[in-house]
A and B are shown apart, each in its own frame.
Chain A
């Protein structure tokens, strides 16, 4: 845990953070609004006191209430992993700016997040499905996704009565939710 790094982050992004800076083990976590991804990432990448030149990971997370785009960054200015969570994407229309302008290598990671969660990364030049077949209509890692449901709906799956009758009703009670996540009003 790097306390001074936390102080630096708070000093730099005080008004942009949508939550407290959390630290645990070797990770420092900040939460920002999806609209702030571009300025925050640019600042982290370019500012010599941060110098986060290395994007370690880009993940999508569906908390059951909201969507999150999670970035992990590495820099030699701190011993911690920096986790940047773009929080509060609406589940109906999750949109977040792409970071491919900083790291072109994020392209496929964003494609994967799109494929699995349906998150739209605005500015990604090639946002199509990467694992699932192009005619696929669902987003498998979303919490309201059940396999049997999709097999009945997919064009190659045919109509399977057993699965249709035995699939649990897709009610909100069966959807796992991350405690503490909140629903933001969707931007429409």
Chain B
């Protein structure tokens, strides 16, 4: 079991496929587990359909093998690893400052949360006190990033259901925020902005004026974008009751974030295990009880509104002061372990660091919500149609950069 068997030339399936000249998504070696054996055995009238890794709507390079019976999906098997970069291994060979830029491309639409997760655990390891202004800047920029991420989600959701326009409308909002963050951090996508003990730079005038402009019309604009979908009969009919999951199953499947809150659990790391200055900020945790795709979608809309509230409070409560703590250039934490979790737009993004006393992490574990949610697609897909595969997958909002690490 520890070593996979090599494909053997006398495996009948390989020869059959070569003769037919068609790619069958069946692995060319004997099944390694019971589950694999069960999945790759076709029933009567069933066939395999290989989706991805090059497919218009797999959100990156996900490959899914569907076992279908007509239009019905009987079972599916996600095949990962097409974007695997081994960030955990890379982090073991980089010092603590360098790790921050290594984790940036994980969930590339919400990079600040990746940095935050890493930075938070390093600070615990090093017992660093972060200046309050830096904490507020972190919250401010991260909530902006959350809105950008959710805007992208809403567009994708519609695109996977065949709507062309919403993604371009929501990209207007996203681009505005990304430009704003670019003037703050210097990058549009992989910000590399958070530092151990603070942030890289203070708020600048360009950022503040852009933010002020945007905040004055943000909620109206978001409402307008929502009007495209929320009142669309086809969209709502397709989403309602699709891929439902109940609270108990969601907890057992380790759901977090909006996907868990859509089943009625008000679990939000910002409140459940507060970090940064979130205890000082006033915001609600929206929940819904249906647990279906529509609930997951609408919940994110509500979250955007809460994020706007948080940004508003940040701007009003932000104290003056330094934005980064004074730290030595070379960090050598004493041996120990630290775990920290942040509430990323997709759920609990956690980092677990083990230090051995050197300037490089001994082990860095990254717990990515996309990865956890993606494994439930098979569960949610029970008895649905091919068309719903992408809808359900999109409603869980996985980012393949995060899934494949």
State yes or no: do A and B touch (Cβ within 8 Å): yes
Residue numbers of A with Cβ under 8 A of B are 24-27, 29, 53-57, 59-62, 70, 72, 74, 76, 79, 81, 83, 102-109, 112, 116, 118, 120, 125-137, 140-141, 155, 176-180
Residues of A within 8 A of B267 (CB): 54
B338 touches A55 (CB 8 A): no
Residues of A within 8 A of B388 (CB): none
Which residue of chain A is the closest to B352 with respect to CB atoms? Answer: A59
In the assembled complex, the CB of B373 is this many whole angstroms from the nearest CB of chain A, namely 9
Residues of B within 8 A of A72 (CB): 339, 350, 352, 367
Task: Kindly state whether residue B97 has any CB partner on chain A within 8 Å.
Answer: no
B2 touches A126 (CB 8 A): no
Residues of A within 8 A of B357 (CB): 179
Residues of B within 8 A of A54 (CB): 251, 254, 267
B335 touches A179 (CB 8 A): yes
B235-278 CB contacts (< 8 Å) to partner A:
251-255, 267, 272-273
The SS class assigned to the A binding surface is loop
CB<8 Å pairs between A and B, sample of 25: A24-B124, A26-B273, A27-B337, A27-B338, A56-B339, A57-B352, A59-B365, A59-B367, A70-B352, A72-B350, A102-B252, A103-B254, A105-B372, A108-B375, A109-B372, A127-B1, A128-B32, A128-B36, A131-B80, A131-B84, A135-B6, A141-B92, A177-B356, A178-B354, A179-B335
Residues of B within 8 A of A178 (CB): 335, 354, 356, 362
In the assembled complex, the CB of A54 is this many whole angstroms from the nearest CB of chain B, namely 6
In the assembled complex, the CB of A178 is this many whole angstroms from the nearest CB of chain B, namely 5
Given contacts A127-B33, A140-B89, contact A27 B273 (CB under 8 A): no
Residues of A within 8 A of B372 (CB): 105, 108-109
Which residue of chain A is the closest to B336 with respect to CB atoms? Answer: A24
- The CA of A179 and the CA of B354, in the complex, are separated in Å by 11
Which residue of chain B is the closest to A108 with respect to CB atoms? Answer: B375
Residue numbers of B with Cβ under 8 A of A are 1-4, 6-7, 27, 29, 32-36, 80-81, 84, 86, 88-89, 92, 124, 251-255, 267, 272-273, 335-339, 341, 348, 350, 352, 354, 356-358, 362-363, 365, 367, 371-372, 374-376, 404-405
Which residue of chain A is the closest to B80 with respect to CB atoms? Answer: A130
A129 touches B4 (CB 8 A): yes
A136 touches B1 (CB 8 A): no
Residues of A within 8 A of B272 (CB): 74, 76
Name the 7 nearest CB pairs between A and B, nearest first: A105-B254, A126-B35, A59-B365, A105-B253, A131-B81, A57-B367, A131-B84
Of the candidates B251, B336, B337, B363, the one whose C-beta lies within 8 Å of that of A62 is: B363
Given contacts A24-B336, A105-B252, A105-B375, contact A120 B80 (CB under 8 A): no
B255 touches A180 (CB 8 A): no
A103 touches B252 (CB 8 A): yes
Residues of A within 8 A of B376 (CB): 105
B338 touches A106 (CB 8 A): no
Of the candidates B255, B337, B338, B354, the one whose C-beta lies within 8 Å of that of A105 is: B255
Given contacts A79-B273, A105-B372, A129-B4, contact A176 B356 (CB under 8 A): yes
Which residue of chain B is the closest to A128 with respect to CB atoms? Answer: B32
Residues of A within 8 A of B86 (CB): 140
B33 touches A126 (CB 8 A): yes
- The CA of A47 and the CA of B114, in the complex, are separated in Å by 34
Scoring B2, B6, B267, B348 by chain A CB atoms within 10 A of each residue's CB, the highest score goes to B2
Of the candidates A25, A141, A179, the one whose C-beta lies within 8 Å of that of B88 is: A141
Which residue of chain B is the closest to A80 with respect to CB atoms? Answer: B273
Which residue of chain B is the closest to A72 with respect to CB atoms? Answer: B339
B336 touches A137 (CB 8 A): no
Scoring B253, B363, B374, B404 by chain A CB atoms within 10 A of each residue's CB, the highest score goes to B363
- The CA of A179 and the CA of B47, in the complex, are separated in Å by 53
A137 touches B3 (CB 8 A): yes
- The CA of A74 and the CA of B189, in the complex, are separated in Å by 32
A135 touches B365 (CB 8 A): no
- The CA of A109 and the CA of B357, in the complex, are separated in Å by 27
Which residue of chain B is the closest to A112 with respect to CB atoms? Answer: B371
- The CA of A41 and the CA of B273, in the complex, are separated in Å by 21
B252 touches A56 (CB 8 A): no
Residues of B within 8 A of A106 (CB): 254
Not counting A126-B36, A141-B363, a sample of 5 additional A-B residue pairs whose C-beta atoms are within 8 angstroms of each other reads: A61-B365, A105-B376, A108-B375, A137-B3, A177-B356
